[in-house]
Amino acid sequence: MSPLAGQLVTETLEYDGGRQVTVYVPRDRPQLIVFAGDGQRISKWGRLLERPDVPATMIVGVHGLTDETLRLQEYSPGFAPERFAAHEKFFVEDIHRWTESRFGVVLSSARTAVFGVSAGGELALALGLRHPDVFGAIFCASPGGGFKPPATMPSPLPRTYLVAGAQEPFFLENATRWASALRNAGADVVMTERAGSHGGAFWREEFPLMVAWAAA
């Protein structure tokens, strides 16, 4: 077992003047790996996965920017295409190479997911659709509305698990729109509505269910 097992590891990579990445290293050898935006928050959710019905899962969390405008430009492809493309390359290519080199973890796309909440949910959808050879599953909680389903869906499509709260109608509508579009394109989709508002506890509570579903 790695001496890092059960820990959070944070390092700074050479991107945009230095960007931190926080990794949750599971106690057992990873059976699933989740790449996530807003890593300063999401990586800490690794503790929620330490239960017998959830496979050992590594979380690689790329820290998001605190400036909400710049964060949205990195996460949603329609606002600042050059900034989005640069972050996309860092997230998909550089982070994957670093994870393999740093932790020795190489998993198939079927065992690799991308996860995001709110604007990060847009990032997860965009990267999942653009890189199905890398991400076999998309986990998306309460996606924002800047990135909408394209008229023509790419093929193949990753399996997708969406969740939104009954008390956040704007985000629930966005999630439902994505679920319908993906189902109509032939994707394997789960769409769940929970009690809660934006940023509610249901995000964290749904995360282990997403991971268990992807590993089934």
Beta bridge partners of 159: 137
Separation of CA 84 from chain center? 16
Give the pLDDT mean for 153-157. 95
- Is the per-residue pLDDT at 1 higher than 50? no
pLDDT above 60: residue 3: no
What residues contact 70, with CB distance under 8 A and at least 6 apart? 83
What local confidence, expressed as pLDDT, does residue 2 receive?
A: 57
What average pLDDT does the chain have?
96
CA distance 81 to 45: 30
What is the pTM (predicted TM-score) of this model? Answer: 0.96
Query: CA 164, CA 88: separation in Å to the nearest integer?
Result: 25
Inform me whether the pLDDT recorded for 178 exceeds 80.
Answer: yes
Question: What is the C-alpha end-to-end distance of the chain, expressed in Å?
Answer: 24
Res. 185: pLDDT tops 60 = yes
Question: Could you report the per-residue pLDDT of 34-72, keeping only the tens digit for each?
Answer: 999 999 999 999 999 999 999 999 999 999 999 999 999
Residue 169 in this model has a pLDDT that exceeds 70:
yes
What are residue 31's phi and psi, to 5 degrees?
A: -100, -15
User: Would you call 141 helix, strand, or coil by DSSP?
Assistant: strand
Residues of the chain above pLDDT 70, percent: 98
Burial class (CB in 10 A: 0-12, 13-18, 19+), 32: buried
pLDDT in tens, 68-98: 999 999 999 999 999 999 999 999 999 999 9
Alpha carbons 212 and 51: distance in angstroms, whole number: 10
CA separation (Å) from 211 to 17, 90, 152, 155?
A: 32, 24, 28, 23
On the question of pLDDT at 5 being above 80, the answer is: no
Question: Is a pLDDT exceeding 80 seen at residue 6?
Answer: no
Residue matched to tokens 């990873």: 30
Using an 8 Å Cβ cutoff, are 175 and 148 in contact?
Answer: no
The Cα–Cα gap between 115 and 111 comes to 13
Strand partners, 24: 8, 59
66 vs 40: CA distance, rounded Å: 11
Q: Looking at residue 94, what is its pLDDT?
A: 98
Residues 116, 73: Cα–Cα separation, whole Å? 15
CB 114 within 8 A of CB 124: yes
